[in-house]
């Protein structure tokens, strides 16, 4: 009977060690995400602003092109210029 209880507790230290390592990895991952999350947010903000600026410039260019060519007359219904 004494031998049976000794074999039951044989792997307890290994399991405790694995659980401790898993908890440690979870905490280290969380700390890394909190530490470097601000850098990602800053990059997202700068890329979004740059994209909005490029889009705004593209819209302004198209509006200017339409305004310049508004009075030109070109009959495209038949494909032949009069």
Q: For 4-56, how does the pLDDT look when each residue is reduced to its tens digit (9 = 90+)?
A: 666 667 778 889 999 999 999 999 999 988 888 777 777 788 888 888 889 99
| Per-residue pLDDT at 21 | 96
User: What CA–CA distance (Å, rounded) separates 82 from 74?
Assistant: 8
pLDDT of residue 7: 63
Whether the full predicted model's pTM is greater than 0.95, yes or no, is: no
End-to-end CA distance of the chain: 110
How far is residue 54's CA from residue 48's CA, in Å, rounded to a whole number?
A: 10
Average of per-residue pLDDT across 71-82? 56
Q: What is the pLDDT of residue 34?
A: 84
Domain ranges of the chain: 24-54
Q: What is the pLDDT of residue 2?
A: 57
pLDDT for residue 19: 95
pLDDT of residue 73: 58
């Amino acid at each position: 009977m004494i031998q049976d209880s000794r074999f039951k507790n044989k792997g307890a230290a290994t399991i405790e060690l694995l659980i401790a390592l898993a908890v440690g990895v979870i905490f280290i991952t969380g700390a890394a995400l909190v530490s470097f999350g601000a850098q990602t947010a800053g990059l997202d903000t700068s890329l979004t602003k740059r994209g909005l600026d490029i889009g705004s410039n593209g819209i302004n260019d198209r509006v200017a092109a339409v305004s310049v060519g508004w009075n030109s007359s070109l009959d495209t219904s038949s494909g032949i210029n009069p």
